[in-house]
Amino acid sequence: MNLKKLLAPKMVLTELAGSTKEEVIENLVDLLMESGKIKDREVALACILAREQKMSTGMQNEIAIPHGKSDTVDELIVCIALKKEGIDFESLDGMPSKIFIMTISPLNRSGPHVQFLAEISQLLKEEEKREQLLAAETAEEILKVFIG
């Protein structure tokens, strides 16, 4: 998967607003809205929240990957944000989440969605990559961790 095609500085936040899981998700959906690729904000938000109710997307190692599938997008879209002080995202390891990667993909296409999630998970297994992300102060520095 070509992360360079999916990621752009305008889809990256160095300091995510919000103090609750729901506020963080809303802010991430709003960031994705700025791409112009979401047809309906409320539908996109509902798909992410519905997925989150089934099982938290708070992983481990301070990472959360809220995601969903919806017909409100025609292609996989992605945003990345940091919340350096962390927030409770009901993570598997009980730690607050600081690195957020949100993706929404079309209902009828599972390949790119699964491939993206696998690639991001593999990349973020490396402690050095996570440390580089949390030390980043610009969108460009964050993107450099993902796409070199």
Please give, one letter per residue, the 3-state secondary structure of 108-124.
CCCHHHHHHHHHHHHHH
Q: Which residues are catalytic?
A: 67
Q: Is 90 helix (H, G, I), strand (E, B) or coil?
A: coil
- Structure tokens that stand for 104 in this block: 């929404």
Contact 32, 1 (CB under 8 A): no
CA dihedral sign, ordered 98, 7, 102, 37: positive
Taking alpha carbons only, the member of 87, 44, 84 closest to residue 67 is: 44
Helix spans in the chain (H): 3-6, 21-33, 41-54, 111-124, 127-135, 139-147
